[in-house]
Each structure stands twice: as structure tokens, then as C-alpha cells.
């Protein structure tokens, strides 16, 4: 079966790509393993210099790459341009800092010399999703490569064009053959590929069930894993919050990438004193979204990536309404072609309702009214997920206390939306996964932290 890319705005088939056969898969794995033996011995500064070239190549093709994302998975082109810029900026960050971050660290002991060094592991298999087709790849590949590993990418089948474009970008930037290459395969091949002795680590971003399956296979073969999985991020709006700011930020976080982000805001937990005014302002902010052709620079809300994903989202909305929530905005599949879904607001959502208990991957917001701060924190943490969270309050000390001490998540922001940054570690806890990407900690995930002791 070929891998098929379908335009979610029109349902037209863009392209079909043949799957790699067993011989091609074996050859690519062997090439990555052979390249590792020379790549790992290059000075960090030399590897980092190629990241500067990679950043330049990405920037020079940013319009082409953004257009490809719009066509393959419906990302509004303005957001696609921003995604490419973030990829390039991340490459620049590691080009400037990798040599310092990976430098050996001396430790005073009874030995004549003792130090900690950071050595690469080998071939890293990256299994990546469709929602940020360039960013998800670059944020793991940049760290793995500059640390001295080589990378094999298994991208989501519906963005195979993006995978091929990325492979071309690395080649154009001067990376040696085998340093970064793709596997055009279906998910059914993953167990066999992970089991290959040359694969030393696996990084996966995607749904919690799929991540659990990958971890189970990797665990059987004792392969290091990093998992960035689903999320049902809670944004707490306290009684002293600046409500116009909170409403705008919450709407932006819910609608970014058409709501298709693991770290997007999904549950809006609002204390009763702020509930009426916040809800009014929030609905006004959600209404500002402009659905349309993702290739139109004025579009801010594109289609969902696939029709089946839209159907699943509608089912979640319907179930939540049946369970007693109030529909305040949207909630119905629009007429016409494509996988479009409107900005949707559900109020009166409670624990036990579908929109509270499950991740909603689309522009659907669940407002959860609560009595006070204590109940807000309790409900925010009453979730199997722990990727991101945010709290809105004019009292910065109060916000920092709640963010640091109370909320169970890998990333907690105060008075702004949760987002990744190459200078800061990114990852989750509970069923949102484990391990960290970005910053110094992303480099360490795919390094052998080696102790040297010389007597």
C-alpha cells in the first residue's frame, strides 16, 4: 500500500509514495550505523557548524515548506512560516551553545583526574506526528545530531512530502549521507525496525496509546526512549486575573494549529467570581478566528488534518453535551468540502464528562466552573495527563507558588500560553510521557553520560 497525502481542505489526493521494502530499510539502517562511526568522532564545533547551514537552508525555503504543510495537513500558511522560523532559530541556538553544553565537566575526587563526559549513543529512531511536521523533527534531530548521533525518521504517513523535504534540507546543508535519513514505512513496520541492533534509542511524539506501544517494544529490546504524548492542559483563571488578557491568551492557545497541539489549552478552569465575564470575553476572542483556505495568509483557522479526526472530535462534543454541558459556540460540522470544524465552547463541563476526561484534538474549549483556588488546582490535577498548565492572576507570587508547588505538569506558565522554547526543557509526566527535549536536557537524553576516573 502506498503512503498517501491528502489535502484536508479539499480532500484531493496530493501524492502517493511507495513504501520502502525490506532491502531498502536494511540499507538505510546500515548506512546510518556506518555514518555514526565517523560522525561521532567529529568535533562538536564541526557538527554545530552544520546546524548553521541547516538554519540557512530552512530559511531560504520557508515559503515552500510552509506551503507544503498547508497542503498536507492544513496548517495556516502564516503559522507554517512561523514554524520554519522556530526550527531555524533552534538550530542557531544549538550551534552557539552545544560545544559549551557538551564539554567535559571536572569533578573533585580522590583521583588524579575525574570527569563527566557526554558521548553519543548511536542511531536514534525518531517517530514523529503530523501536527508540526517540521518542528517536531528538528527539535529532536538537532539535539541528537549535534550530540554525535545519527537519525532515522519515520514520519506520519500523511506528511510524507514533508519528510522528504526534510531529508533534502539536511542533504543540501552538508550533512553526510546517513546522518539524517527517512524511512517511508507504515506503523506496522515499527516493531521490526525498533528491534534492529543498530537502533540504540527511540524518540516518539504522538498519542498516549501509540507511545505506550512503542515503549513496550523498545523496553523488550532495552532501547532508550523519550516520549512526548497527549495532553489535556488546564488553564486556571483565578478571581484576580486580568480577564481580557486571560481570554485572549486562552483563545490563542486553544486555536493554534487549529487546536491540534498536545500542549494546547483544553480545559479552562475558572473560579465563580470570574466565570461570567471571562466566558463572555473568551467567546468574543474565539469568534475572531478566521476559517478558510490555509494557503490564504489571512486565514487563522485551517481544517483539521483528516476527516476521521473531525468525526472523532464531533463525537466527543456530542457526548459532552449529552452529559450535561452547555454548548455556547460552534459544535456542528459545517457544510462544504474539507475537514473544517468551527471554534467551539462548552460550558459547565465537569469531571466525568468526555471533554474533561479525554484529550480533544481540535478547536473545542471546555469551561469548568469552580468555587475557589483549591478546587481549581484539584481539578487541574485530576487528569491522567501532565504535559502543560497555566495560571492567570495579578498576584505574581501567588501564580508562581501555584505553578511551582501545586500543578502536576512538565511545563507550567503564569499569565501566558504554554509553548516550547529551545532554551528551556520540554516534556511531560504521567500519561503525557517522560524524558525531555530541548535545552541542555535534550542533549543529555541521547548521550552516554560517562564517568572517567583516573588514579
Round to whole Å and give the CA distance between 143 and 194: 20
Q: At what angle do helices 44-60 and 77-101 cross, to 10 degrees?
A: 170
Is CATH 3.90.1490.10 what the domain over 233-414 is classified as, yes or no? no
Specify the pLDDT at position 290. Answer: 98
Residue-wise pLDDT for 46-74, tens only, equals: 999 999 999 999 999 999 999 999 999 99
State which H helix or E strand residue 155 sits in. strand 150-155
- The mean pLDDT of 181-200, rounded to a whole number, is 97
23 is catalytic: no
| Catalytic residue (choose from 83, 228, 358, 445) | 228
Tell me, yes or no, if the pTM score tops 0.95.
yes
> Architecture of 3-229+432-454 per CATH?
3-Layer(aba) Sandwich (3.40)
CB distance 17 to 167 below 8 Å: no
**Residue 386 pLDDT greater than 90, yes or no:** yes
**Residue 1 pLDDT greater than 90, yes or no:** no
Length of the chain: 455
Specify the pLDDT at position 393. Answer: 98
Specify the pLDDT at position 397. Answer: 98
CB distance 231 to 385 below 8 Å: yes
Q: Give 256-302 as a DSSP string.
A: GGGG--TTSEEEEEEEHHHHHHHHHHHHHHHHT--BS-TTSTT--B-
For residue 202 the three cell numbers come to 527511540
**Residue 366 pLDDT greater than 90, yes or no:** yes
- The mean pLDDT of 276-280, rounded to a whole number, is 98
Residue-wise pLDDT for 72-130, tens only, equals: 999 999 999 999 999 999 999 999 999 999 999 999 999 999 999 999 999 999 999 99
Q: At what angle do helices 77-101 and 62-73 cross, to 10 degrees?
A: 120
119 is catalytic: no
- Strands 123-128 and 150-155 come out as parallel
| Residues of the chain by 3-state class (helix, strand, coil), percent to 5 | 45, 20, 35
Round to whole Å and give the CA distance between 437 and 352: 32
Exposure of 282 by Cβ count < 10 A (0-12 exposed, 13-18 middle, 19+ buried)?
Answer: buried
Q: How confident is the model at residue 240 (pLDDT cuts 50, 70, 90)?
A: very high
| Catalytic residue (choose from 167, 262, 358, 373) | 262
Specify the pLDDT at position 171. Answer: 98
**Bridge partners, 391 (sequence order):** 236, 414
Q: How confident is the model at residue 411 (pLDDT cuts 50, 70, 90)?
A: very high
Residue with cell 500500500: 1
Residue-wise pLDDT for 310-321, tens only, equals: 999 999 999 999
Residue 365's nearest CA partner among 417, 320, 324 is 320
User: Could you tell me the CA-to-CA distances from 12 to 15, 16, 326 in Å, in that order?
Assistant: 9, 12, 35
Average pLDDT, the chain: 98
Domain ranges of the chain: 3-229+432-454, 233-414
Amino acid at each position: 500500500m502506498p503512503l498517501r497525502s491528502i489535502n484536508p481542505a479539499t480532500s484531493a489526493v496530493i501524492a502517493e509514495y511507495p513504501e520502502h521494502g525490506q532491502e531498502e530499510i536494511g540499507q538505510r539502517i546500515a548506512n546510518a550505523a556506518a555514518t555514526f562511526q565517523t560522525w561521532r568522532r567529529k568535533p562538536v564545533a564541526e557538527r554545530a557548524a552544520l546546524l548553521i547551514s541547516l538554519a540557512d537552508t530552512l530559511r531560504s525555503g520557508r515559503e515552500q515548506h510552509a506551503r507544503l504543510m498547508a497542503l498536507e495537513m492544513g496548517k495556516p500558511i502564516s503559522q507554517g512560516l512561523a514554524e520554519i522560523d522556530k526550527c531555524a532559530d533552534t538550530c542557531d541556538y544549538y550551534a552557539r551553545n552545544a560545544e559549551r553544553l557538551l564539554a567535559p565537566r571536572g569533578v573533585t575526587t580522590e583521583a588524579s583526574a575525574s570527569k563527566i563526559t557526554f558521548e553519543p549513543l548511536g542511531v536514534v529512531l525518531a517517530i514523529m506526528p503530523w501536527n508540526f511536521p517540521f518542528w517536531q523533527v528538528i527539535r529532536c534531530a538537532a539535539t541528537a545530531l549535534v550530540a554525535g548521533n545519527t537519525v532515522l525518521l519515520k514520519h506520519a504517513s500523511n506528511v510524507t512530502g514533508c519528510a522528504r523535504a526534510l531529508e533534502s534540507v539536511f542533504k543540501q546543508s552538508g550533512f553526510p549521507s546517513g546522518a539524517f535519513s527517512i524511512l517511508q514505512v507504515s506503523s506496522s513496520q515499527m516493531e521490526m525496525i525498533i528491534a534492529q541492533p543498530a537502533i540504540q534509542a527511540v524518540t516518539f511524539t504522538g498519542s498516549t496509546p501509540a507511545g505506550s506501544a512503542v515503549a513496550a517494544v523498545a523496553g523488550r529490546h532495552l532501547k532508550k526512549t523519550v516520549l512526548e504524548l497527549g495532553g489535556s492542559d488546564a488553564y486556571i483563571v483565578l478571581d484576580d486575573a486580568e480577564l481580557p488578557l486571560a481570554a485572549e491568551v486562552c483563545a490563542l492557545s486553544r486555536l493554534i494549529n487549529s487546536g491540534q497541539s498536545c500542549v494546547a489549552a483544553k480545559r479552562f478552569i475558572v473560579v465563580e467570581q470570574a466565570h461570567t465575564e471571562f466566558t463572555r470575553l473568551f467567546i468574543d476572542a474565539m469568534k475572531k478566528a478566521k476559517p478558510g483556505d490555509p494557503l490564504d495568509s489571512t486565514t487563522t483557522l485551517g481544517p483539521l488534518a483528516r476527516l476521521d479526526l473531525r468525526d472523532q472530535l464531533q463525537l466527543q462534543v456530542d457526548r459532552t453535551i449529552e452529559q450535561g454541558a452547555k454548548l455556547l459556540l460552534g459544535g456542528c460540522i459545517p457544510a462544504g468540502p474539507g475537514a473544517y470544524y468551527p471554534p467551539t465552547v462548552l460550558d459547565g463541563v465537569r469531571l466525568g464528562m468526555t471533554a474533561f476526561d479525554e484529550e480533544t484534538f481540535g478547536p473545542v474549549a471546555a469551561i469548568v466552573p469552580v468555587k475557589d483556588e483549591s478546587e481549581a488546582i484539584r481539578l487541574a490535577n485530576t487528569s491522567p495527563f501532565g504535559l502543560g498548565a497555566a495560571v492567570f492572576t495579578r498576584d505574581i507570587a501567588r501564580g508562581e507558588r501555584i505553578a511551582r508547588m501545586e500543578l502536576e505538569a512538565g511545563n507550567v506558565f503564569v499569565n501566558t500560553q504554554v509553548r516550547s522554547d529551545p532554551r528551556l526543557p520540554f516534556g511531560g509526566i504521567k500519561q503525557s510521557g517522560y524524558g525531555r527535549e530541548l535545552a541542555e536536557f535534550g542533549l543529555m537524553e541521547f548521550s552516554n553520560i560517562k564517568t572517567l576516573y583516573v588514579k
